Amino acid sequence: MEFELKNCWYIYKSKKNKAAMDKLAAEYVDFLSLCKTERQTIDWLVSRAAAKGFEQGFTQDKFLKVHKGKSLIMARRGRTAISQGLRILGAHADTPRLDLKQRPLYEECQVSLAKTHYYGGIRKHQWFARPLALHGVVVKTDGTKVHIRIGEDLNDPVFTVADLLPHLAYKQIEKKLSEAFEAEKLNVVLGHVPLAAPAEKDKSPVKLSVLNILQKRFGIVEEDLYSAEIQAVPAGPARYVGLDQGLIGGYGHDDRVCTFAGFEAFLRQNSPENTQVLIIWDKEEIGSEGSSGAKSLFLEYSLEDMIDAWEPGTKLRTVFENTRAISADVHAAMDPDYQDVHEKLNASLLGHGPVFCKFTGHRGKVGANDAHAEYVGWLRGILNSAKIPWQMAETGKVDMGGGGTVAKFLAVYGMDVIDFGPGVLGMHSPFEICSKADIYASFLAYDQFFRN
């Protein structure tokens, strides 16, 4: 009669399951190490999808469409009419980071630096004193796009934000955490060697030297940075964590783990009953804004085109009302060192399967999507019959904090939707932790969702 959480490590203990789990984990580690920006993630997905026969254009039964290189929709036509409703899985490919400002370059004290404006909910102190890589694009006035990726190859230099030494931090450590680390001090070190024999009038020989290197290597001048999107992100690959290698640590589990697991589950479908849609958005971390975020009309416009091609005359709102969706996003797993911010009955544990979050929001569920009980019942049913472990949790103790996802932007259409994804430790930090078992279970759970 009592509900008991199920431990994935016991459920997936067979040799066959372990091998499948390890294989998926290895592929995920490669993906996470390679894709550090939303653009890179979308490019990776598109090239894999194209190899599986997905094409641009809505006349195909398997189509894909990319918007601005930052969001992606894919669909596979089902056996039943679109008016019977879709199975939509949505996730996001953007991650918290330090964006270079549009006029970033300067020099102080024989060091060349770049000003940044952080993107998303970072804890500022976590970004000091660690190796960073620069990723992004620079667009020239003629439309040429220069791709930047420095700091991932072992032969590459890395970048960093220098931190204050403890010897001179007596005043800083007395401050509140929210005031001790200032955004305007998150400046990335770019160089140190001055331009050889600079003219007397040169006041910034180190900055000039950096510009010189940028021009030689990428053919860009300072003005080009005004039309650039360059992100400073943690350098280096994702790694297994722990002696048993049961965890994966890396930058951007939120939400590339759901992007990956959802995509892999989507790819393996074949001749489904309901038409299936995978959508990967950008800008979730800053409120799903802009033309590539979930608040945009990208989904709506794409589905209108799909209906015109496959089932003209069907009303989009009928499709939406009959649609079932998953907002595939990570959840805050219970932190062994900070258990007090969670309420144990309604918290999730690493290794115990993907986590449903019926509602997000904060302070009295404000700003939440709240999935209907009927929908939760249906989902429990399909996962239980496939013997896939799952959990249900809130983001933390009531009034302790909160958060939001893309779920509410899907809910406005009248479809059923719930947040569902693996737990993460250290969410939004430069090194987030995920359980290998949860990644596998999430992939299997998304697979079941698509097929039912």
Task: Output 134 or 407, the one with its CB closest to Mn ion.
Answer: 407
Task: Output 214 or 425, the one with its CB closest to Mn ion.
Answer: 425
Minimum distance from residue 83 beta carbon to Mn ion (Å): 31
Rounded Cα gap, residues 262 and 280, in angstroms: 10
Task: Output 76 or 256, the one with its CB closest to Mn ion.
Answer: 256
Q: Indicate the helix (H) or strand (E) that contains 180.
A: helix 177-180
Residues that bind Mn ion (CB under 5 A): 254-255, 329
Task: Output 220 or 280, the one with its CB closest to Mn ion.
Answer: 280
How many C-alpha atoms does 16 have within 13 Å on its Cβ side? Answer: 0
Residue 115 tokens read as 């000003």
Minimum distance from residue 254 beta carbon to Mn ion (Å): 4
Minimum distance from residue 428 beta carbon to Mn ion (Å): 6
Minimum distance from residue 99 beta carbon to Mn ion (Å): 16
Minimum distance from residue 121 beta carbon to Mn ion (Å): 7
Q: In a 3-state reduction of DSSP, which class is residue 35?
A: coil
Amino acid at 212: N
**Residue corresponding to tokens 């770019």:** 190
Rounded Cα gap, residues 328 and 281, in angstroms: 11
List the one residue out of 285, 288, 284, 159 whose CA is nearest residue 233.
159
Minimum distance from residue 303 beta carbon to Mn ion (Å): 23
* C-beta separation of 335 from 395 below 8 A: no
Minimum distance from residue 203 beta carbon to Mn ion (Å): 41
Task: Output 78 or 354, the one with its CB closest to Mn ion.
Answer: 354
β-sheet with 97-108: strand ranges across: 145-150, 132-139, 228-234, 97-108, 111-119, 188-191
Q: By beta-carbon distance, which residue lies closest to Mn ion?
A: 255
Sorted by sequence, the CB contacts under 8 Å of residue 112 that are 6+ apart come out as: 105, 106, 189, 190, 191, 192, 204, 206, 207, 209, 210
Task: Output 253 or 324, the one with its CB closest to Mn ion.
Answer: 253
Task: Output 122 or 307, the one with its CB closest to Mn ion.
Answer: 122
Minimum distance from residue 95 beta carbon to Mn ion (Å): 8
Residue 271 tokens read as 């001749």
Question: What distances in angstroms separate CA 231 from CA 91, 119, 203, 368, one per listed residue?
Answer: 21, 9, 27, 30
Task: Output 63 or 298, the one with its CB closest to Mn ion.
Answer: 298
Rounded Cα gap, residues 281 and 396, in angstroms: 25
CA angle 159, 161, 163 (to 5 degrees): 140
